[in-house]
Amino acid sequence: METRIILTVLCFTMSLLSLIRGLYLIRLEQKQGTGATINLHDAADTLKLVFFNGIKSRNGIVLLWKSNTQMSRWGFSIEKKNDKGEFVEIAHFYSAANGQYRFIDSNTINYETEYRLKQIDPFGGIYYSKKVLTSRC
């Protein structure tokens, strides 16, 4: 259920939505003259992955993932575990309108490689996916 409050002060209109999780995305839209509209939307529901998988191919490891919506996500970083056991970024994707992504890691020397997705939201929040372990053999 959504509660909307509309305030008008000095030519500014502000729409406030009461949200359960308390995480908001604020969008400011400039109107004519000195007015503006601020809409608050729940950003928590936009940080969900539908799936994240890795499969081997002739060209390397193919990583596939899909997210439910892109409204408040700035993008994804693909991280790969190195020989020291640390995850390092190997690629970055900005949010796509359809929410579907594909990346081929052709630099796979190890027999087993571990990957994860780092999701970044507009508030600086960082969320990690489950880890995917893949094999070249």
Give tens-digit pLDDT for 22-58.
445 555 555 555 555 555 545 444 457 889 999 998 8
Could you tell me if 65 and 117 lie in one domain?
yes
Could you tell me if 37 and 60 lie in one domain?
no
Q: Which residues contact 85 (CB under 8 A, 6 or more apart)?
A: none
Nearest C-alpha neighbor of 63 from the set 130, 8, 137: 130
91 C-beta neighbours (distance < 10 Å), count: 14
In the chain the first and final C-alpha atoms are separated, in Å, by: 51
**Would you place residue 2 in the very low, low, confident or very high pLDDT band (cuts 50, 70, 90)?**
very low
**Would you place residue 63 in the very low, low, confident or very high pLDDT band (cuts 50, 70, 90)?**
very high
For residue 111, give Cα distances in angstroms to 32, 52, 61, 134. Answer: 60, 20, 11, 8
Could you tell me if 17 and 79 lie in one domain?
no
Residue type, 111: Y
Could you tell me if 20 and 60 lie in one domain?
no
Predicted TM-score (pTM) of the model is 0.63
- By percentage, how much of the chain surpasses pLDDT 90? 31
What's the mean per-residue pLDDT of the chain?
A: 72
Could you tell me if 61 and 109 lie in one domain?
yes
Task: Give me the mean pLDDT over the 88-113 stretch.
Answer: 86
Q: 82: domain range?
A: 45-135
Nearest C-alpha neighbor of 28 from the set 13, 47, 43, 11: 13
Could you tell me if 63 and 91 lie in one domain?
yes
Could you tell me if 83 and 55 lie in one domain?
yes
Structural domains in the chain (count): 2
CATH number of the CATH domain containing 80: 2.60.40.10
137 bridge partner residues: none
Tell me the three state secondary structure of residue 71.
coil
**Would you place residue 75 in the very low, low, confident or very high pLDDT band (cuts 50, 70, 90)?**
confident
Q: Convert 63-82 to b/e letters by CB count within 10 Å (16 or more is b).
A: bebebeeeebbeebbbbbbe
Nearest C-alpha neighbor of 108 from the set 132, 129, 130, 126: 132
